[in-house]
Chains A and B, each alone.
Chain A
Amino acid sequence: MHAESLPSIFLNAAIVNNFVLAMFLGICPFLGVSSKKETAWNMGLAVIFVLLVSSASAFGINWLLVNLELEFLRLICYIAVIASTVQLVEMFVKRYSPALFRSLGIFLPLITTNCAVLGLALFQTQKEYDFIQSLVYALGAGAGFTLALMLMAGLRERLALARVPNVSQGAALTLMLAGLLSLAFMGFAGLGGSHG
C-alpha cells in the first residue's frame, strides 16, 4: 500500500470509490443540503477543510496511540478531534459569513456526525498511509464529496421545475436520482483498484 502513488490515491478517493456514491459515507448532508448549488458548494468547502484538519490530527493521534499501545482508545480520540474541528469551523463561519452560517443551518454542526469524516480517519489508519498520503486522500475524498453534492444539486435544481407524480416527491425521488448517479460512477470502477 505504501507504494501507491499520490495521483492514484486522489483519483481513487474522488472518483473510483467516491465517498458518497460508492461507499455510502456522508449520505445525510448529501440528501439534506443538495437542493441549491451555492449551498452545496459551500458545504463542500467546509467538509474539505474539516477532512484535511481531522486527517492530519488523526495521523498524529494514531502515531501517539500506537506508541503508547492504547489503540482501543482510537475511536474515542478521533471523534473528539473531529468534534472540536467542526466547532472551530462553525465559529469561523459564524464570525466571517453569517449568511452562509444561516443557509447551512443545522447541517454545519452535523458535520461531526458526517460519516465521511470519521470514515476517512479510520480508512487512512487501516490503509497505513503516511502523512502526505493521508492529506492527499483527505483532499480526494473532499473533492469527491463536493463533486457528488454539486451534481445532485444541479439535478435537483432542474427537477424543481419538473412535474413529477405526487407520491415520488421528496426523499424517494432524491434517492432514485442518487442511484442513477451512483450507477454512472460505477463506470469508473477498475480505474484505480479496489478499496480495502
Chain B
Amino acid sequence: MAELPKHQEDLSLDTFVRGLWKENPVFVMLLGMCPTLAVSNSAINAISMGLATTFVLAGSGALISWLRNWIPKQVRIASYIVIIATFVTIVDYAIQAISLDLYAALGAFIQLIVVNCIILGRAEAYASQQRLVPTLVNSLGIGAGFTIALFALGSVREILGSGTLFGLHLFGAGFQPWVVMVLPPGGFFVLGAWLLLFNWIKQRGERRADAPTGVPANAR
C-alpha cells in the first residue's frame, strides 16, 4: 500500500461528495460496523455519534496530513493511533461536559471511536498522502456519509422500536412498538435490510445499463 504513487488530488466537489454515496463508509465499504450497530437505537444517539466521529476524522486527518512528511514509515500506524486517541480523548471530555445524558447513552462507544476502522483506514489511505485541505474536505465528506448512514439506521429503529422520532411521538396510542428493533437484533436486521435495498437498486441499475450482455450483477 505504501508504494502507491503520491498522486496529489485536486480539490473538487467530488472530494467531498463521494464520501456520501460512492464511498459511503457504512453501506458501501462496510467499515465501522460496531458503533454503527451499537448506538443507532435512536436518531439522536446516531447523529451525536456521527458528529463525534466526524470531528475525530477531520481533526486526526488534518494533523496526519500536516505531519505526513515527518512520520517515519515503520511506525506510522502506531503514530496514527496515538493521534486518533488524542482527538478521541478530546471528544470524550467535551461530550461529558456538554451533556451527561448523552454521555451515558453512548457509553463506552465514544472511547471506542479510537478503534473505528473508518478513521484508521482514512488515515492510511488518504491523509498520509494528500495535502491538508483536500484531506479535511474528504474527511468531512466521509464523516457526513457516516452520519447519514447512522441516521438512516437510527431513525428506522427508533420509529419502529419506540414509535418516536427525536423523542416526538409519531403514532397514536394504539401503536404497538416493535421492541426488538431497539434491542441488539434490530440493529442487525435494519442494517441488513438497508443493504438489501441498496443491492437491489444497484443491480437494477446495472441490469438497465447492460441489459443485452447480462453481466452478473454481484460481481463485486
Contact = CB atoms under 8 A, between A and B. Distances in A.
A75 interface: yes
Interface string B111-136: 11011110010000000000000000
Interface stretch (A56-64, A91-99, A117-125, A128-136): A117-125
B34 A176 contact: no
Interface string B74-93: 00011001100110110011
B104 to A, nearest CB: 11
Interface in A33-86: 72, 75-76, 79-80, 83
A24 B120 CA distance: 19
Contacts of A75: 85, 88-89, 92, 111, 114
B69 interface: no
Interface in B136-195: 180, 183-189, 191-193, 195
A182 interface: yes
Interface residues of A, number: 43
Interface stretch (B11-19, B45-53, B196-204): B196-204
Contacts of B218: 166, 169-170
A27 B37 contact: yes
A108 to B, nearest CB: 13
B30 interface: yes
A88 interface: no
Contacts of A11: none
Contacts of A115: 34-35, 112, 115
Contact of B184 (A117, A123, A172, A182): A182
B37 A112 contact: no
Contacts of A183: 180, 185
Given A24-B38, A167-B196, A113 B115 contact: yes
Given A23-B38, A80-B81, A182 B203 contact: no
B188 A176 contact: yes
Contacts of B117: 28, 110, 113
A21 B85 contact: no
A114 interface: yes
Contacts of A151: none
Given A26-B34, A113-B117, A167 B203 contact: yes
A122 B112 contact: yes
A171 B196 CA distance: 9
A180 to B, nearest CB: 7
A62 to B, nearest CB: 13
A57 to B, nearest CB: 16
Contacts of A117: 115
A175 B184 CA distance: 12
Contacts of B63: none
Contacts of B189: 175-176, 179
Interface string A137-165: 00000000000000000000000000000
A113 B120 contact: yes
A76 B82 contact: yes
Contacts of B114: 75, 79, 118
A76 B112 contact: no
A13 to B, nearest CB: 14
A122 B34 CA distance: 15
B115 A114 contact: yes
Interface of A: 21-28, 31, 72, 75-76, 79-80, 83, 110, 112-115, 117-119, 122-123, 126, 166-176, 178-180, 182-183, 186
Interchain residue pairs A-B with the least CB separation, the first 5: A179-B188, A175-B192, A24-B38, A172-B195, A27-B33
14 contacts: A24-B38, A24-B187, A25-B34, A25-B38, A27-B37, A28-B31, A31-B30, A76-B89, A113-B115, A172-B199, A176-B188, A176-B189, A180-B185, A186-B184
